[in-house]
Amino acid sequence: MSARDYFKKRGDLLPDVVAAFRELASDVDLVLVEGAGSASEVNLRAGDIANFGFARAAQVPVIVIGDIQRGGVIAALVGTFAVIAPKDRDMIVATLVNKFQGDPSLFSAGKTFIAEHTGRPVFGPLPMFSDAAKLPAEDVLALDAPRQTSGGRLTIAVPRLPRIANFDDLDPLRAEPEVNLVIVEPGNPLPPHADLIILPGSKATRSDLAFLRCEGWDIDIIAHHRAGGRIVGICGGYQMLGRTIADPDGIEGAPGTSDGLGLLDIETVLAPEKTLGVVNGSEVPGGQSLTGYHMHMGLTQGPDCARPFAQIHGLPEGARSANGQVIGTYLHGVFASDAFRAAFLGVATSALAYEVGVDAALNALAVHLESHLDLDALLALAQPMDIA
The correct CATH number of 133-357 out of 3.30.110.70, 3.40.50.880, 3.20.20.60, 3.30.70.20 is 3.40.50.880
- pLDDT surpasses 80 at 143: no
Q: Give pLDDT, residue 1.
A: 45
- pLDDT surpasses 80 at 150: no
* Averaged pLDDT, 13-31: 91
pTM to 2 decimal places: 0.78
User: DSSP string covering 60-96, please?
Assistant: --EEEEEEGGGS-HHHHHHHHHHHS-HHHHTTEEEEE
Q: Which of 10-24, 44-58, 81-95, 170-184 has the lowest mean pLDDT?
A: 10-24
Give the span between the Cα atoms of 241 and 243, in whole angstroms.
7
What positions carry a catalytic annotation?
235, 332
- Give the amino acid at 361: A
- pLDDT surpasses 50 at 347: yes
Sign of the CA dihedral 133, 136, 142, 144? positive
**Which three-class secondary structure state does DSSP give residue 312?**
strand
Give the span between the Cα atoms of 312 and 131, in whole angstroms.
34
Give the span between the Cα atoms of 57 and 51, in whole angstroms.
10
Asked if residue 247 lies in contact with residue 209, where contact means CB atoms within 8 angstroms, the answer is no
215 phi, psi to nearest 5 deg: -80, -10
Q: Give pLDDT, residue 5.
A: 52
Residue among 387, 373, 369 nearest 93 (CA):
387
320 phi, psi to nearest 5 deg: -135, 150
Give the span between the Cα atoms of 77 and 124, in whole angstroms.
13
Indicate the domain borders of the chain. Answer: 3-126+373-380, 133-357
**Which three-class secondary structure state does DSSP give residue 109?**
helix
The percent of residues above 70 in pLDDT, for the chain, comes to 92
User: DSSP string covering 208-265, please?
Assistant: HHHHHHHTTHHHHHHHHHHTT-EEEEETHHHHHTSSEEEETT-SSSSSEEEE---SSS
